[in-house]
Amino acid sequence: MADIQHYSHDTGWKNTILRGLLYLVLTLFAIYYLFPLFVMISTSLKSLSEIREGSLISLPRVITFDAWTYAWNEACVGVECSGIKIYFWNSVKMAVPAVLISTFLGAINGYALTKWRFKGANIVFALLLFGCFIPFQVVLLPMSMVLGKLGLASSTSGLVLVHVVYGLCFTTLFFRNYYVSIPDELVKAATIDGAGFFTIFWRIILPISTPIIVVSVIWQFTQIWNDFLFGASFASGDNAPMTVALNNIVNTTTGVKQYNVDMATALLTGLPTLLVYVLAGKYFVRGLTAGSVKG
């Protein structure tokens, strides 16, 4: 009995030490990944003179939001010096409709591919799945030709179309995998009662799709807001999105390099996606695992 107690005591100490080491490693990794964010925030809150005199890792002696105000209202994007607020709203006008449209169409596709099977449904899904692996660079030329013929070149509407088309493969995959876990008997019972395709979708399928809708919205919003290649290729001037404006500000030098303004602009660019993950990150994980088990 004493040996068992001694063994349990030793095991408990070993588990405590291992757990402490694990927490230490995780803390070090967290510090490593959060350190650049700390430098960005600290630098954006300093004056330019303090940045020259001090170091990047030092806390600001006097906190000032002048760099944030300047970045929002007065920063030069190319030849224009009207701040990034115009381009911020360009990204909003691009991301919101693109996310809503691609999510809705993905839900319809996933519903049709799982509950209203038709001849060749697996082939259609395979082709859509293949679209997830097509690199952005491959579609630049054909997409630019299509936008030109539609009269949507260098416009926010053109970017919305591009992101809807490119994101449709991912949203269809999300909803298709989620709807597979919904019993077919539910749709059959509604069909017997006289419900049609869209009635079943609106009244039965869509109300129970909240977890995967959250996943699709977060995924699409992050991809669209952070995209630079499509924004730089298919928009120009005052129609450019936020990421293109950030690149132009950082790489445009008019006299003294304003590191605090660059950092403030970068933080303003990344803030929407950061808030989305902070506020809805746990729902993203839940949604991904919601359809992982059938039955």
Task: Say if domain 85-290 classifies as CATH 1.10.3720.10.
Answer: yes
- Whether the pLDDT of residue 211 is over 80: the answer is yes
Domain boundaries, the chain: 2-64, 85-290
* pLDDT (0 to 100) of residue 295: 42
pLDDT exceeds 70 at position 112: yes
Is the distance from CB of 88 to CB of 198 less than 8 angstroms? Answer: no
Look at residue 5 in the predicted model and tell me its pLDDT: 53
Q: Would you say residue 2 has pLDDT above 70?
A: no
Confidence tier at 195 by pLDDT (50, 70, 90): confident
- Collapsing DSSP to helix, strand or coil, 149 comes out as helix
Closest CA to 206 of 98, 104, 99: 104
- pLDDT score of 9 more than 70: no
pTM of the complete model: 0.84
Please report which confidence band the pLDDT of residue 253 belongs to, taking 50, 70 and 90 as the band edges.
low
- Per-residue pLDDT averaged across 179-203, rounded? 84
Distance from C-alpha of 122 to C-alpha of 124, rounded to nearest angstrom: 5
Q: What is the pLDDT of residue 237?
A: 79
pLDDT of 254 reads 62
